[in-house]
Amino acid sequence: MENEHASGKDSGGTPLFFLPFMERVARQGRVGTGGDPIASANPPTQPLNGLGKSQVLFGNPFHEGKGKGPFMTVYFIGAGPGAADLITVRGLRLIENCPVCLYAGSLVPAEIVAAAPKGARVIDTAPLHLDEILAEMVAAQERGVDVARVHSGDPSLYGAIAEQMRRLDALGIAHEIVPGVPSFAGAAARLGLELTLPEIAQTVILTRTSGKASPMPKGESLEMLGASGATLVLHLSIRNLAHVEKALTPHYGADCPVAVVYRATWPDEKIILTTLHQMRARVRAEKITRTALIFVGPVLGDTRFRDSRLYDSGFAHVLRNRGKKRPGQAEASARS
């Protein structure tokens, strides 16, 4: 038999680098016998913190964890970009029903935090370090109560949730991610912008520049990413504009359109429409130093794109004009 490590796969054919992930989702009831992530085939019939059976969330919150305390779940909830009514229905229902709410400081609207149930333990985690945040989760496990861990935007993007989940895995505490509207989507909506235009740009790169928290990995420098000419959305980079301009000007040109969106969808939102060459001066004049996204690319200013074929009257697909021959097809069929 071929050695597992030599082949890079386990005996079931699963690549070894997937195993930690597969082990985690299996514990949470989201992996079938074939090893494929699936929706729970047997959702729990008992209510979850007052939610009826029809409202039970994905996964199986009643799985048998390895921790010593009663069963509970930590929900990593995306609060959306800023406006309180942009949180998902699922996320809001969980916050309304979880006896513990840990939220990411000023990045989460007060109206969302206020939805926590009466008597809930509500804590701003901005001044806390990782061990202190985990201590709150462990205390909740010992009480057997669920935790709403509320992050801004979507937790999967720059949410620092992986390190929290890794600790929870080691403690045998169940956790699930509840997606939210990402900040870049909220900002694009406020700009009235489609990020992918036919023959202009069909690729969007979400990235950041090196900062105090962590450097960028090798191969992900702004110079390398900019060479693609794709639409760029830069997070956590508003204090690094000199580098942004220097790195991107050779690829996009000094006059390339740039949009800087500060606190997208919040009441104090600011939008700056500028160019790569002028953005530093404009941002400095507005005194923006944090919580801003930077959009770079021709999609911000180019209105000369052609219509997509998706809604073209001559374009046939499975849901429209089924069986209709496209121009040239009839002649080709006649010749064949």
- pLDDT tens profile 113-149: 999 999 999 999 999 999 999 999 999 999 999 999 9
Average pLDDT of every residue of the chain: 81
Structure confidence by residue, pLDDT tens digits, 185-199: 999 999 999 999 988
236, burial (CB in 10 Å: exposed 0-12, middle 13-18, buried 19+): buried
* Confidence (pLDDT) at 59: 38
Give the per-residue pLDDT at 296: 97
Higher pLDDT, 28 or 107: 107
The residue that leads in pLDDT, 215 or 134, is 134
Say whether pLDDT at 45 is over 50: no
Of 30-34, 123-127, 133-137, 208-212, the range with the lowest mean pLDDT is 30-34
**pLDDT band at residue 16 using 50, 70 and 90 as cut-offs:** low
- Rounded to an integer, the average pLDDT of 9-17 is 56
Calculate what percentage of the chain has a pLDDT beyond 90.
63
Cβ-count burial 9-33 (b if 16+ within 10 Å, e if not): beeeeeeeeeeeebebeebbbbbee
Name the residue with tokens 């029809």.
54
What are the pLDDT digits (tens) for 271-326? 999 999 999 999 999 999 999 999 999 999 877 778 777 777 777 777 766 555 55
Lowest mean pLDDT among 16-25, 97-106, 230-239: 16-25
Q: What is the pLDDT of residue 310?
A: 74
- Of 263, 233, 203, which is closest to residue 80 (Cα–Cα)? 263
Residues 6+ apart with CB under 8 A from 237: 208, 209, 211, 244, 294
Look up residue 269 and give its DSSP letter. Answer: -
pLDDT at 161: 96
Distance separating alpha carbons of residues 319 and 275, to the nearest angstrom: 42
Judge residue 131's burial from the number of C-beta atoms within 10 Å of its C-beta, 0-12 exposed, 13-18 middle, 19 or more buried: exposed
Q: Which pLDDT does position 8 carry in this prediction?
A: 56
Nearest-angstrom CA–CA distance, 73 and 71: 7
Higher pLDDT, 121 or 55: 121
CA distance 321 to 315: 8
pLDDT at site 117: 97
